[in-house]
Amino acid sequence: MFSNLFILFLHSAGISILTLAALALGKEAIKIWLTLLVIGMNLFVLKQIKVFGLHVTCSDALAVGYLLGLNLIQEFFGRKEAMRTIWITCFASLAFLFLSFMTLVYQPSDYDQAHSLLYRLFFPQLRLVIASLVTFLIVQLCDINFFSLLREKAAGRWLTARITLSLLCAQTLDTVLFSYLGLYGIVPHIQDIIVFSLLTKWLVIVLSSPYAALSRRMIRAF
């Protein structure tokens, strides 16, 4: 049986490769892919795993992959397309929340076996939903502005370094914001949770960022 660390490595590599493949297919394809990642984050954040003895969620690779894709959109298609992607994915997240809620409103039949499972999956606490959406929007806007500044200062060079630095800052902000907005007062030792989550996300960033170096070749190939 594979360890969670090895699975995390494969997960991060697979998401990064799929992000590059979507980039090569064009801005429409990568927007669809990022929308799928957002919906996946809303679902897979519920599964808890252990890495290095730390309890984290298995959605961290998706979150890093999403911001990697957003930075690549801004790099190759411009800031305007990156902003449009933010609003598209926010709309998709809210629409998915609405669809999930409406599904649960229906009264199940006597033969239904799925309602209780769907309820546990699609009916998170309201505070967590609001915290997630607010954090998601703030982090994306900050990431776009910071990446734009880095691109200007570097005159378009050092793409991998710029993406790595941008991801590190964005994921740090994401973790701190969500922890205090969504978990403060609910879980003990929130500082420990922040540190443990950051260590995992930084590991995923280290595994994912090198793929940015291949992005220019993927764009030229297609």
Q: What is the pLDDT of residues 190-221, one digit of tens each?
A: 676 778 778 878 888 888 878 777 777 766 65
Structure-block tokens of residue 37 = 């990642």
- 50-67 pLDDT, tens digit per residue, is 776 766 777 778 888 898
* Helices and strands of the chain, counted as H and E runs: 9, 2
Residue 1's pLDDT is what?
Answer: 53
Structure-block tokens of residue 106 = 């229906």
Burial class (CB in 10 A: 0-12, 13-18, 19+), 120: exposed
How many degrees, rounded to 5, is the angle at CA 100 between CA 190 and CA 96?
A: 80
Q: What is the pTM of this model?
A: 0.82
122 CB-near residues (< 8 Å, 6+ apart): 100, 101, 103, 104
Domain coordinates in residue numbering, the chain: 4-221
